[in-house]
Chain A
């Protein structure tokens, strides 16, 4: 066994946390190539329904690329090729004829840098709704208010819904992006380092929001902040870079990963000696 073999749950029965719940999204031997470059390979990982999964690891180990497979954003990259299996219940997420519009409505995504559209606050939320067929003003109003309340932005912006979203602060913008994803009532949320461009206070607010989502949404969050992973996640996946792209080296309950890591690299990583 090489140092980079995956320590999976089956090999370590003590990490049985995620097995209690039916796994919702399951990746089996998933690999992603950009032309000849390997982003990550042979990743097998399940996202439990209603749970928060943190994906940690050094830069360039394929964490973000993994997230992009889950909502098929890889389709936008001309040379990207995904192999392996990726399913959500009976749904084959890698099927070439998959309805990506429907998938992306059910799987929301938050990126590292807040990216509200250069529209008014209202339009940022109303535009995705209209695109997905919700054009009635009353329903839009109700959904938008609900989403903004959920991210704690309603009281801050309710009097200026018509002003530009770009005038909001960075933290507010990120919460608006979260609201923009939530307004479509997704089941899954993918977050790619959602706090790393924010100040500590805004960062904490977003973190609290993520914590509040446990049980209601399935969350996968990529983070460089180990303390954050520890605070938030039910399950933690550790990715590592190998010469041939990223690999999943260890997967387990967050307590197990931080208190009793199995893989030598994980041990060094969580102690702050590596990565």
Chain B
């Protein structure tokens, strides 16, 4: 008698799984190589530091980078405190009220799945018109914050739930305050979850175009403040490749910058988290 696992021949399940994994990786590599191939030639210090000219066909992307940075800054400075606060509430304080936290969670999951164009329309109706913020980096950043929040909260909450109960028991048995425990013990140990949430959130925010077209607008001038309209990198790429004949090379260059930025931000976030987590 032979057991199924020792049967010679092809293991179709393994082949299927390997094929799928290879296909996905290959697709990703294709895109990356394509961008590298076409974009590397564009990349230069000058490209990063000069203003776009001729609808983006010439010049660089300095104003675009500044706008992107500002939009991200607005988005994160709103979504991190709100998101981490909500996650702390759900994971640490709402344990006695499971009904309520279930509703909060369900709403977040639905929000996380809402298409970005809907967020864009909401941002336009609420921030741009109702609150009178106009087409501005502020409106765009706030709209992105709404989009990023559900992802950030859920990941951060998982982070807090993964903290061993021994820390909470240990802190309580030492008579430590809840606030002190949260600050000194729970936050550092929940860091991996927070960083995952943050990285996913930043990724979503940086890649977003639809929600921004209606809110931060797409003027490619250098913004003077967050009240100005500004064009993010992703919108710049979209505009160059869709609306500007002859803008492809610049679009590739911008795409490469976007990817490099994401890689840098991700590595920096995990480096910070690792140091913080070890209590250094």
CB within 8 Å of B: which residues of A?
A: 71, 73, 76, 78, 100-105, 108-109, 111, 113, 115, 117-120, 123, 127-128, 131-132, 162-166, 177, 180-181, 184, 190
The answer to whether B277 and A118 touch across the interface, beta carbons within 8 angstroms, is yes
Say yes or no: A111-B169 contact (C-beta < 8 A), given A118-B188, A118-B277, A119-B184: yes
**Quick one: which of B175, B184, B280 has the most chain A CB within 10 A?**
B175
The residues of B that contact A165 with a CB separation of less than 8 Å are 279
The answer to whether B167 and A115 touch across the interface, beta carbons within 8 angstroms, is yes
The answer to whether B172 and A166 touch across the interface, beta carbons within 8 angstroms, is no
The residues of B that contact A103 with a CB separation of less than 8 Å are 175
- Cα-based distance from A24 to B247 in the complex (angstroms): 84
- Cα-based distance from A96 to B277 in the complex (angstroms): 36
8 contacts between A and B (CB under 8 A): A78-B96, A117-B185, A117-B279, A131-B176, A165-B279, A177-B170, A180-B170, A184-B174
Shortest Cβ distance from residue A138 to the other chain B in the assembled complex, whole angstroms:
21
Shortest Cβ distance from residue A170 to the other chain B in the assembled complex, whole angstroms:
13
B163: nearest chain-A partner, CB-CB: A118
> From DSSP, what is the main secondary structure of chain B's interface residues?
helix
The answer to whether A119 and B175 touch across the interface, beta carbons within 8 angstroms, is no
- Cα-based distance from A111 to B174 in the complex (angstroms): 12
The residues of B that contact A100 with a CB separation of less than 8 Å are 175
9 residue pairs, one from A and one from B, having the closest CB atoms: A104-B175, A115-B166, A119-B279, A109-B173, A101-B175, A115-B170, A164-B278, A128-B174, A105-B175
Shortest Cβ distance from residue B175 to the other chain A in the assembled complex, whole angstroms:
3
The answer to whether B174 and A119 touch across the interface, beta carbons within 8 angstroms, is no
The residues of B that contact A76 with a CB separation of less than 8 Å are 168-169, 172
Interface residues of B in 228-280 (CB under 8 A from A): 277-280
The answer to whether B279 and A71 touch across the interface, beta carbons within 8 angstroms, is no
A67: nearest chain-B partner, CB-CB: B173
B96: nearest chain-A partner, CB-CB: A78
The reply to whether the CB of B67 lies closer than 8 angstroms to some CB of chain A is no
One of B167, B177, B189 near A131 (C-beta < 8 A):
B177
- Cα-based distance from A57 to B113 in the complex (angstroms): 52
One of B168, B172, B278 near A104 (C-beta < 8 A):
B172
One of B95, B164, B184 near A127 (C-beta < 8 A):
B184
The residues of B that contact A73 with a CB separation of less than 8 Å are 169, 172-173
The answer to whether A131 and B279 touch across the interface, beta carbons within 8 angstroms, is no
Shortest Cβ distance from residue B271 to the other chain A in the assembled complex, whole angstroms:
16
- Cα-based distance from A63 to B280 in the complex (angstroms): 37
A122: nearest chain-B partner, CB-CB: B279
The residues of A that contact B176 with a CB separation of less than 8 Å are 127-128, 131
The residues of A that contact B96 with a CB separation of less than 8 Å are 78
The reply to whether the CB of B8 lies closer than 8 angstroms to some CB of chain A is no
The residues of A that contact B188 with a CB separation of less than 8 Å are 118-119
The answer to whether B279 and A120 touch across the interface, beta carbons within 8 angstroms, is yes
One of A108, A118, A180, A184 near B279 (C-beta < 8 A):
A118
The answer to whether B95 and A181 touch across the interface, beta carbons within 8 angstroms, is no
The reply to whether the CB of B180 lies closer than 8 angstroms to some CB of chain A is yes
The reply to whether the CB of B78 lies closer than 8 angstroms to some CB of chain A is no
